[in-house]
Structure 1
Amino acid sequence: MSFSNLGLAEPLVRALEAKGYTEPTPIQAQSIPILLEGGDLLGIAQTGTGKTAAFVLPSIQRLTETQKRVLPTHCRMLVLAPTRELASQIADSARAYGQFSKMSVTTVFGGTSINKNRQDLSRGVDILVATPGRLIDLIEQGFCNLSMIEILVLDEADQMMDLGFIHALKKIVRMLPKKRQTLFFSATMPTAIRDLASQFLLDPKTVSVKPAATTAERVDQYVTFCNQSEKQALLTITLGDPAIDRALVFTRTKHGADRVVKLLAGNGIASNAIHGNKSQGQRERALGEFKQGKVKVLIATDIAARGIDVSGVSHVINFELPNVAEQYVHRIGRTARAGASGIAVAFCADDEKAYLRDIERITRQKVTVRPLPDDFVNLSNQIKQTRVKTMGADPEVRIDRPRDPARPRATHAPRATGTTGRNW
């Protein structure tokens, strides 16, 4: 099946050909005809399935067909995303797909100049891609008006709920026209997400694409059991594999990501971290260097990684296993984009074994156990010695040594001090 068979107009097909796309993915084939008819849609699909094109392409066609003039500070289509990276990615895709359809696209999200956001919205825009917090700021300041919205898209709804955007979403939706088309996408569909969808959608069609099993089939998965204190040396050894083109390393915390970058640098391995505490400029620079191959290792938290779409990631390394099993599926999917294959490695400490059991349960397969490298103890000691020579002892490593017992705390009145015997 071709894109033209789905009913897409020639300018959109031409834009797809310019990007090298000839056949629709399953979610595109199922969603595009429904959306061209103007109906609401509930889509269950994770990143990497082609869902951005599934909602952007038919939306551009519908906006082009109605050809309404956009008023200042207004927009016709609103896409809400949980993170800056995902918002940027969606906007880039919309610009590429709409290049022959004369669609104006802009983004608003935190970490960028709000004055520039005001300027971008001043003349009005066809497609606005936003994170909820910054959008509400602009609305309350009078620089954005949602009364002309024809199409609303909520992407990665489960992540927006996890990030606490539920009240912001409801507030935004209350400002929209009742007559509109609403598209709701989520990688998972727990009861809370389904209840939220029922509040926003009107008689929706449901499209479900579950690539977890197919993703797992394309990814060789391995787990190495180790102590938490051994992980840094194990990561350094793993990254020495010449087969690694680009490696995406996941940690659970922002602080952990920064610490991994610092310790890798001590062993001569260049890497960047991307997480919520980084400025937008720092995040874009880190992602740009990773995409261009200038730095082949990117350390990321799960939230910051939402929306990262980088081809050629050969390895995903779970430095720490996620405490939510579905996140593991999101993570390893980063190395199996567009039908490619890849390798996923997990380091599992004793207190993470329950997380591994959950992962194997939802993926319905056992992860292959890979033992620690031969002569790991000596290699680990060499790595630590090299790092100490480069950057000094790691102040965060607790030295286990005998300690004198603490003196008992006084339970009586303060004793007298000084030559006078007074304590005042």
Structure 2
Amino acid sequence: MPFKKLHANLLESLERMNISEPTPFQKKSIPVIKSGSNVFCTAPKDAGKTTTLILTTLQKLKCEAVGKAPRAVVLVENKERAMEIYQAFLLYTKYNSLRVYVGYEELHIDIQKSEIFEGVDILISTPKTMNKLFLLNGVSTSQLKIFSIDDADFLIQKSDTSAIISITQSIQKCQYVLYSEKLHPKLKRFESYFMEYSKIIQL
């Protein structure tokens, strides 16, 4: 069972929230993500995608703060979703030293730059804001270990695709995990940009 092989801090958090059994999607996806592969994770709503994203991100960072530059990035559609994911992360980071930061279009970019400069481990942002930070040297990607895109279905309709490609082109070495309800051809196209040799987990 995948939960048994998680960091002790995460197991304690899961126990506190009375989560004892992984969902079928989590059983399939967590070991593959932990292996370090790039992964397309496709499953219907309420399959446990958000919890998988949080657990695998925290596992990758060993549940402890290191340095100042973000080691994990989570891209989301908008401010509302950014805040939801942020609150969900806080449930798991309450008893460890990890620093989670959330950025979005409505928050002035200079404020974000100075707050990120103070030191963060996990950066939650929208593609446009992340790209703007990137272009203004407001965020270093030199320490990035894992880059996740939450509910990536929004990229099928929106113009955020170019922002994502722009960001990922400058990242040297990183694991990419893309979560969506369906594996749309537009998402599959990321294989030729940053999702090389990716595995597909479908439920």
- The answer, yes or no, to whether TM exceeds 0.5 is yes
Q: Is the 8 A contact 2:65 2:98 kept in 1?
A: no
129, 139, 143: which one aligns with 1:144: 139
Whether the 8 Å contact between 1:43 and 1:207 is mirrored in structure 2 is: yes
Q: 1:144 to 1:2 in 2, by over 3 A?
A: closer
Native 8 Å contact 2:74 2:147 kept in 1? yes
Do 1:12 and 1:101's aligned partners in 2 also have CA atoms closer than 8 Å? no
1:180 aligns with 2:174: yes
**Mapping of residues 318-397 of structure 1, within 5 Å:** none
**Alpha-carbon distance, 1:99 to partner:** 2.6
Query: What SS class does the counterpart of residue 22 from structure 1 fall into?
Result: coil
- The answer to whether structure 1 residue 124 and structure 2 residue 119 are counterparts is yes
Residue 16 of structure 1 aligns with which residue?
Answer: 14
Counterpart of 1:26 in structure 2 is: 24
**Structure 1 residue aligned with 2:148:** 153
How many residues are aligned here?
Answer: 203
Check if 1:189 corresponds to 2:186.
no
Q: Distance in 2 between matches of 1:169 and 1:205?
A: 20
Alpha-carbon contact 1:82-1:163 (below 8 Å) kept: no
- Give 1:33 shift: 1.2
d(CA) in 1 for partners of 2:86, 2:114: 17
Larger radius of gyration: 1
The CA RMSD over aligned residues, in Å, is 2.0
Code of the residue aligned with 1:50 in structure 2: it is: G
What is the distance in 1 between the residues matched to 2:114 and 2:16?
Answer: 31
Could you tell me which amino acid in structure 1 is paired with residue 39 of structure 2?
A: L
For 2:196, the aligned partner's letter is: L
Distance change >3 Å, CA 2–CA 77, structure 1 → 2: closer
Take 2:153 and 2:26, find their aligned partners in 1: how far apart are those partners? 20
Aligned residue number for residue 3 of structure 1 = 3
Q: Deviation of residue 117 (structure 1)?
A: 1.6
- Are the counterparts in 1 of residues 65 and 97 from structure 2 also a CA contact under 8 Å? no
Instruction: Note if contact 1:75-1:124 (Cα within 8 Å) is conserved in structure 2.
Output: yes
| Counterpart position of 1:387 | none
Report the Cα distance in structure 1 between the residues aligned to 2:162 and 2:129, rounded to whole angstroms: 14
> How many Å separate the matches in 2 of 1:162 and 1:82?
11
Structure 2, unpaired ranges of 5+: none
Alignment of 1:246-261 (within 5 A): none
Separation of aligned partners in 2, 1:184 and 1:154? 5
Give the C-alpha shift of residue 59 in structure 1.
2.0
Distance 1:113 1:180 in 2: 28
Where 2:148 maps in the other structure, the secondary structure is: strand
Partners in 1 of 2:27 and 2:65 — Cα distance? 28
Please give the alpha-carbon distance, in whole angstroms, between the structure 1 residues aligned to 2:2 and 2:58: 18
State the identity as a percent: 26
1:208 aligned partner: 202
Task: Could you tell me which runs of 5 or more consecutive residues in structure 1 were left unpaired when the two chains were aligned.
Answer: 210-424
2:74 and 2:30 map into 1 onto residues whose CA distance is 17
AA partner of residue 25 (structure 1):
T
